[in-house]
Amino acid sequence: MRAFPFPDKIMSREELLRDLLYEKIPKNDLERISDKAWETGVAAAQAVVKEYGCDRQMKEIAKMSGLTIEWSQKDNIAGNVRYFSEYYSGRKKITLYVESISKWAKINKLPVNEAEELILSHEYFHFLECTRLGLTSKQYTVPNIKIGPIILGKSGIRALSEIGAHGFSRTFYELSGKSTGDKMNNKQNLLCNEAINPLEFDGKKTAEKIFSLSFMNMFKSNKKRR
């Protein structure tokens, strides 16, 4: 049985370690808020399958939801980060980077079309956050500045949106009749978020690009665009 290439519920908790606001989260809250975000993704996947059926591909569901899917042939690398996809809320568009996805598919021994479905499902969850669910990152907030009893501003935890997306992708995959393994082949093959501060979601940037799926540290020695 082939191992599922996204983190499971337990491993998804590690997303919080990469969040820029991790140090502001009380340790006693880490597991609880991670699991709540995961279950948000699970419930969303169950609702989508109930609405559209278990036989439809995510490409079909995305288009039926009014999303445009654009395939860009490039290997999208910025610095040492490889991006596989981007979701633009204002334009209702998801861009898939074909060469980036092909590399990830190869290392995980997946057909490219299946890899595209998995990554697309990850972005579709972010679409649901922006249109139906509300941002999962806002389920838990931490103070921007705290001086004694005084709190100035609050920020959500960006990693929670990624955890929710992992829960959504895995559950949708399973409910669509595909098998998953319980263990990862190689921890280095996981898709990781860039842990961007969620302040980017406030104000004008909400209508611009707000979600992207990246895989840090993968193929660091091979950054040349093809």
Residue with tokens 């907030």: 141
| DSSP bridge pairs for 70 | 95
pTM: 0.79
Q: Tell me the three state secondary structure of residue 143.
A: strand
Residue 102 lies in a domain: yes
Residue 224: inside a domain: no
Q: Nearest CA to 129 among 61, 72, 22, 201?
A: 201
Rounded CA-CA distance 181/28 in Å is 30
pLDDT of residue 81: 83
Instruction: Provide mean pLDDT across the span 188-211.
Output: 39
Any residues with CB less than 8 A from the CB of 110 and at least 6 apart, and which?
2, 5, 104, 118
Question: What would the DSSP string read from start to end of 167-217?
Answer: HHHHHHHHHTT---BSS-S-GGG--------GGGGSGGGGGSEEEEEEEET
In three-state secondary structure terms, 105 is helix
Q: Is residue 111 part of a domain?
A: yes
Q: What is the pLDDT of residues 56-82, one digit of tens each?
A: 999 999 999 999 999 999 998 888 888
Percent of the chain with pLDDT over 70: 73
- The answer to the question of residue 129 being in a domain is yes
Assign 193 a pLDDT band (cuts: 50, 70, 90): very low
Q: How many domains does the chain have?
A: 1
Q: Which residue is associated with the tokens 């278990």?
A: 54
User: The domain containing residue 38 runs over which residues?
Assistant: 9-216
DSSP H or E stretch at residue 80? none
pLDDT at 178: 63
44, 164 in Cβ contact below 8 A?
Answer: yes
Could you tell me if residue 170 is inside a domain? yes
Asked if residue 3 belongs to a domain, the reply is no
Residue 226 is assigned to a structural domain of this protein: no
pLDDT digit string, tens, across residues 144-186: 776 666 666 789 999 999 999 999 999 999 998 764 444 334 3
| pLDDT tens per residue, range 84-102 | 999 888 888 999 999 999 9
Q: Is residue 225 part of a domain?
A: no
